[in-house]
Amino acid sequence: MRILLTNDDGIHAPGLLALAQVAREFGDVRVVAPDRERSACAHAMTLRDPLRIHELDYHGLPGFQVNGFPVDCVNVALTVAYPDGCDLVISGINNGPNLGYDITYSGTVGGAMEGCINGIPSIAVSMATFVDGAPDHFETGARWLSENFHILSSFSKDRTFLNINVPAIAFEELQGSRIAGMGRRVYQDRVEERSDPWGRRYFWQGGVAVMRSDDPETDVYAVSHGFVSITPVSLDWTDRQCAEELKSKLRSLV
């Protein structure tokens, strides 16, 4: 199996190394990742600047460092690392959760989405750490991936990829795994106004995440209760029910 690894935390991130150590047990692995952290870049793509790559030895694996986003890394990889294509794209292991609406911002998810767009089975993996400085427990994510790799890597559905969140706890504390839908993870006080030393105002975006964990069918609930959440994400965002309702209303206007 030909396995492409990428991330949005940068090529030197410990989560990527943890992922590589698992993936190399299951096939031919090549690592193509950004040269620095690119968190919250979503599905951004570089179009107006040149992409430059630096080939390197990634802990015994072929590696390429790219001055772009995860989407760029996947596309560059399909040119220089796997010109004949690959069998699986895994993006991660991200340092932090990608739950609910966060997947729309996530560069980790963006990498998996680009693999899916290219017709390759793809997976995004994140460690759900919620407090700065808390243990990241990448070893938990790596062990869970290793034990479930054959099942995950065999998943294949057109225009669908998997978004996985692993609670950042000891492996023995995991309660199991759940297939879950997207929950709600929104932010309060999103933009904060500040002043620089010269009294000029500026704005800092971030805010406090609010987890709506009351729906047991969601990823937010699963992770909050110690379960690994597995969410199949479709590239087709069409609201079919709404489309039919609009058709009916438009016909009534004719």
pLDDT digits (tens, 9 = 90+) for 212-226: 667 899 999 999 999
In a domain, 41, yes or no: yes
- Range of 131's domain? 2-184+214-253
- Of 44, 56, 52, 50, which Cα lies nearest the Cα of 12? 56
In a domain, 196, yes or no: no
pLDDT value at position 254?
47
Low-confidence ranges of the chain (pLDDT < 50): 254
Spatial separation of the C-alpha atoms in residues 199 and 38, rounded to whole Å: 30
Instruction: Name the domain count of the chain.
Output: 1
pLDDT digits (tens, 9 = 90+) for 33-42: 999 999 999 9
In a domain, 166, yes or no: yes
| CATH number of the CATH domain containing 162 | 3.40.1210.10
In a domain, 24, yes or no: yes
In a domain, 93, yes or no: yes
Alpha helices by DSSP H, the chain: 14-23, 70-80, 107-117, 138-153, 219-224, 240-253
In a domain, 203, yes or no: no
